[in-house]
């Protein structure tokens, strides 16, 4: 088998693989954005209150904040 023939049959195999993959991707079940975007918004809203970077963290419960050395008596 000449090199030229070898490389063209490899291209055919690769092209066939691409077509097979595209066929798999083409047949997936897709959902409307009205559904998916609403779910996304709802998820973020529901979890917003327990997201420390949004709600902020009280100094007393922030393990990364250095505790002050003075204490109010």
Partner 1 sequence: MGEMEQLRKEADNLKDQITAARKAMQDTTLQEAAASINVVGRVQLKTRKTLRGHLAKIYAMHWSTDSKLCVSASQDGKLIVWDSITTNKVNAIPLKSSWVMTCAYAPSGNLVACGGLDNMCSIYNLKGKDGNVKVMRELAAHTGYLSCCRFLSDSEIITSSGDCTCVLWDIETGTQKTIFAGHQGDCMSLAVSPDFKFFISGACDFTAKLWDIREGTCRQTFGGHENLSRINYILDLCKLYDLRADQELITYQDSSIMCGVTSLAPSLSGRLLLAGYDDFNVNIWDTLKAERVGVLAGHDNRVSCIGVSSDGMACCTGSWDSFLKIWN
Residues in contact with partner 1 by CB under 8 A are 8, 11-12, 15-16, 18-19, 21-26, 28, 30-38, 40-41, 43-48, 50-54, 57, 62-66
**Pair of tokens at residue 23:** 């066929």
CB of 72 to partner 1, least distance (A): 22
CB of 73 to partner 1, least distance (A): 27
Quote helix, strand, coil % in the chain, to nearest 5.
Answer: 65, 0, 35
Contact present, 32 and 39 (Cβ < 8 Å):
no
CA-nearest of 58, 40, 37, 36 to 48 is 40
CB of 71 to partner 1, least distance (A): 21
Kindly tell me which of 56 and 72 has the beta carbon lying closer to partner 1: 56
């Amino acid at each position: 088998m000449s090199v030229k023939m070898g490389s063209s049959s490899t291209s055919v195999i690769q092209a066939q693989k691409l077509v097979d993959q595209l066929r798999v991707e083409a047949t997936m079940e897709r959902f409307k954005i009205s559904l998916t975007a609403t779910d996304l918004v709802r998820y973020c809203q529901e979890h917003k209150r327990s997201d420390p970077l949004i709600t902020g963290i009280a100094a007393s419960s922030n393990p990364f904040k250095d505790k002050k050395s003075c204490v109010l008596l």
